Amino acid sequence: MSLLQIAPLRDWPTKLDELAAAHHAEWSPLIGPDWTLDVARAELHDSCGDAPLPATFVAVQDGEACGSVSLLVDDADDLRGYGGPWLGSLWVSPTYRRRGIGARLVRHAVEEAARRGVDRLLLFTPRHAAFYRSLGWADVGGARVRGEPVDVLSCYPRIAMQS
């Protein structure tokens, strides 16, 4: 088994289609039919440009894209009042879950946000608030996205990198 590597998706463009299909399978039932595979692919493509944000990072092991995380300018339309930027689209392939890859991806994204000078990073989650709290994220409050209750959490990347 090779070492897990985490790198910008822009450095691994051959993984884009594989990730888009995985993201689409994971989230299209929640987001709805307008979020087609082409839209998922276009969003990932947008996060491979020259701008600091948006950016996507992919975890690769044994040649397989086994996880990813993104830094986004905006995430859900319902949460625009919170500002941004956002950590979003955290995903680990089902066969690789509960091995610490999700936690590594979150830490990697926080480190990359610090490098980009982000003061405060936000995320929302319907089910995994405890997971993020265990990684040092703090509760901002409750909200609704597409009618579903979510927790909004924040972290301060530059401070997190010093601790």
We find the least distance from the C-beta atom of residue 50 to ligand COA, in angstroms, to be 27
Select 16 or 22, whichever has its Cβ closest to ligand COA.
22
CA distance 12 to 45: 11
Select 35 or 131, whichever has its Cβ closest to ligand COA.
131
Select 101 or 117, whichever has its Cβ closest to ligand COA.
101
Sign of CA dihedral 74, 38, 146, 67: negative
For residue 146 the two structure tokens come to 């597409």
Say whether residue 152 binds ligand COA (CB under 6 A): no
Q: Pick from 125, 152, 153, 155: which binds ligand COA (CB under 6 A)?
A: 125
Select 51 or 73, whichever has its Cβ closest to ligand COA.
73
Q: Considering only residues 56-115, where is the footprint of ligand COA by CB under 6 A?
A: 90-92, 97-103
Q: Pick from 134, 138, 159, 161: which binds ligand COA (CB under 6 A)?
A: 134
Say whether residue 26 binds ligand COA (CB under 6 A): yes
CA distance 145 to 148: 5
We find the least distance from the C-beta atom of residue 134 to ligand COA, in angstroms, to be 6
CA distance 91 to 149: 20
Select 98 or 149, whichever has its Cβ closest to ligand COA.
98
Q: Which of 7, 70, 73, 66 is nearest to 44 (CA)?
A: 70
Q: Which residues bind ligand COA (CB under 6 A)?
A: 26, 90-92, 97-103, 125, 128, 130-131, 134
